[in-house]
Structure 1
Amino acid sequence: MSNQQDYDCIVVGAGIQGSFTAYHLAKNNKRTLLLEQFLLSHSRGSSHGKTRIIRKAYQHDFYTHMMEECYLLWAKLEAEANATLLSGIWEKRGRKSILANSKRSQVPTETLGPEEFSQRLPQVSLLAGEGALIDTTAWVLYANWALRAVQGGVIKDGDQVTDIQPGSTVTVTTATEVYRAESLVITAGPWANTLMAYTGLQIPLQVVKINVCYWKEKVPGTYGISSRFPCFVQLGVEGSQYHFYGLPSNEYPGLMKICYYMGSETEPNERDQQTDRTDVHLLSQFVSHYIPGLEPEPAVVESCLYMVTPDHHFVLDCHTHHNNIIIGAGFSGHGFKFGPVVGKVLCELSLGQMPSYDLSPFKIQRFQSNSKSSL
């Protein structure tokens, strides 16, 4: 085997988490190979699309602490960030832990009662008794630009992994080549289960398909970035188990992006055969009630895949039997904004270094006991 096939680390999966892992490894002068089964750029996984919400307001302080450095690293990567300065978390009764953690972690926030909210955002119709928590650090993150900006180094796309042989040197076989490395990082999103199976590891990860919906403004510009309409997360809507979230019109002129957090279980290679539209029905009801300036049926429906853990916390850990195989998985629909720090800690684990953060909430061993939702 030629030296060209030998690396310090192989990262499998060139979404945002794998790309940032390779980015940090390269910063550490490590010979790194980033493998991707699809030709770049593609829309088959979780990292495509133009926008994401980036925020510090969280129920759990370990996420808030990680986001502090994420903001710094995003700014370091992208000095020309386009952002909405007024972006909010809309909160209904019962989720006071988010507000409490925001105060404890000194996240800049403000709370709005119904009257204040109506003056600030007359385009939105709250129900009786509802108010809002505004995270003034929240932005719109331009995902497609970010992914392109962080990808670099040795990338081999269009090459699917067909086998992994653990050992002091990990051997990765693809459809066209055989590669060796001192360590391996698996950040394969919906295909993580398939790759981990080669190593004898099983984690209770569920793949779900989300219908990403875009809704037409009745009056163009009402809900756009230029009108300073915020991104939002709406919690506790009656009849829904999970939350709704939205971003101002951007991807498509005059169309606002609003989605339901959870979709329907699927197999990653059979995404397009999953035609359940339960989430679209819930979204139509939500839009009709809360955002009357939008047409109540989506104008565009696209697809995204989430890899969800039972507790909706990430998996950031070494393989249970092979310390030089690192797992980054289960980002559960809220991981994109954490890419800079996730990549950093996965890099640290692959180098055998002490991670910069307490990773106990993200350990594989937690699945041996029951967990509660993180959101």
Structure 2
Amino acid sequence: MAAQKDLWDAIVIGAGIQGCFTTYHLAKHGKRVLLLEQFLLPHSRGSSHGQSRIIRKVYSEDFYTQMMDECYWMWAQLERESGTPLYRKTELLLLGKENPELKTMQATLSRQGIEYQYLSSEELKQRFPNLRLTNEEVGLLDKTGGVLYADKALRALQDAIHQFGGTVKDGEKTLRINVCYWPEKVPGSYSVSQAFPCFMWLGLAPHSIYGLPSGEYPGLMKVCYHHGNSADPEERDYPMAPSDTQDVQILCRIVKDRFPDLKPEPAIMERCIYTNTPDKHFVLDRHPKYDNIVIGAGFSGHGFKLAPVVGKILYELSMKLMLSYDLAPFRISRFSGLGKAHL
């Protein structure tokens, strides 16, 4: 890119939600920016495809909950700019037995002044009769929770990037999980229209279960297992592994035991790739050797909703501006004592 017309203030590699929001912030601030994507857009070979994602403020860590305040504002701003609905409030129900993790999340919500409701076992059973609950399970209802329309958000961002003068080039090459959709026995019993919330269920399996009410596929509820076996991102077209089958069997058992109004076998199964860090926190930092390279990675299956602020942070890092957030939890140096096998 030697010609003057091909000189850029920033080049962003990867047109998933994080790369798109980073490019959006750069272009919106008048920077000459190029966004590169190795696959032709749109595609389903990364971590940002699909029609829906959960949005929530409930977290164990204060810093994520604080970031989410600005994220909600930015998602609403993108809705206004695009004229496209990108968010639907459904609330988020966090389920599990009384344990330190649940208590920590409740304490964070209280400390940050987030509206929520604690539901006893009896209150849960009265309010959600279509869930099979034990007497030991309680709930936290995050009143801010809801559904983000993922595919629409990506399209809105890419349109905005063009409007702000940015350039997107696809087809420029530079951990997976299983997502299943279960058909309802009784139409609408787990739907957004019936005010059924998004949910996260702790302690049902070695890793948590989460899901969204039926909406993107009418009559089908999205239920996911927050786990999967390792996958080479360069070899994404692979047959189902034995561990994938085991994960689906875990979901089938949980659906049969806990969701009496769903049919026990999935109607649709989709895959999504996670890039996990050892502590499940992001990497947002400058490259330790090359000062002109900024890294945003390792979003560990919970980065989509936080992308507006992540993109802002990566814009600030790339332009060497004052940072809006403390990046101590996200620095690469926190892994300096770990060998490559742990990363």
How does the TM-score come out when normalised to structure 2? 0.91
> 1-side partners of 2:222 and 2:129: how far apart?
19
Higher strand share: 1
Aligned pairs (5 A) from 1:192-231: 208-231=175-198
Q: Aligned-pair distance for 1:251?
A: 2.1
- 1:155 equivalent to 2:122? Answer no
Aligned position for 1:332: 300
> 2-side partners of 1:144 and 1:92: how far apart?
34
> 1-side partners of 2:239 and 2:61: how far apart?
33
- 1:93 equivalent to 2:98? Answer yes
- 1:319 equivalent to 2:287? Answer yes
Aligned position for 1:198: none
Aligned pairs (5 A) from 1:293-312: 293-312=261-280
- Equivalences, count: 322
Aligned position for 2:215: 250
**Which shows bigger deviation, 227-236 or 336-345?**
227-236
Aligned position for 1:268: 233
Q: Aligned-pair distance for 1:289?
A: 1.7
> 2-side partners of 1:254 and 1:289: how far apart?
19
Distance 1:292 1:369, change over 3 A: farther
**Which shows bigger deviation, 56-65 or 83-92?**
83-92
Distance 1:289 1:72, change over 3 A: same
Q: Deviations over 1:254-286 (max 9, x none)?
A: 110000001111111323325232221111121
Mind listing any 5+ residue stretches in structure 2 that lack a counterpart? 339-343
Match of residue 139, structure 1, among 133, 136, 146? 146
> 1-side partners of 2:59 and 2:268: how far apart?
30
Aligned pairs (5 A) from 1:1-375: 1-79=2-80, 80-94=85-99, 95=101, 96-151=103-158, 152=161, 153-161=166-174, 208-237=175-204, 240-273=205-238, 275=240, 276-369=244-337
**Which shows bigger deviation, 245-254 or 49-58?**
245-254
Does the Cα contact within 8 Å between 1:84 and 1:225 map onto a contact in 2?
no
- Matched letter for residue 214 of structure 2: S
> 1-side partners of 2:311 and 2:126: how far apart?
41
Does the Cα contact within 8 Å between 1:211 and 1:277 map onto a contact in 2?
no
> 2-side partners of 1:64 and 1:335: how far apart?
13
Mind listing any 5+ residue stretches in structure 1 that lack a counterpart? 162-207, 371-375
CA RMSD in angstroms, aligned pairs only? 1.2
Q: Deviations over 1:40-62 (max 9, x none)?
A: 10000000001100000000001
Q: Aligned-pair distance for 1:92?
A: 2.4
Does the Cα contact within 8 Å between 2:197 and 2:212 map onto a contact in 1?
yes
Alignment partner of 2:181: what SS?
strand
4+ runs deviating over 6 angstroms: none
Q: Aligned-pair distance for 1:81?
A: 4.2
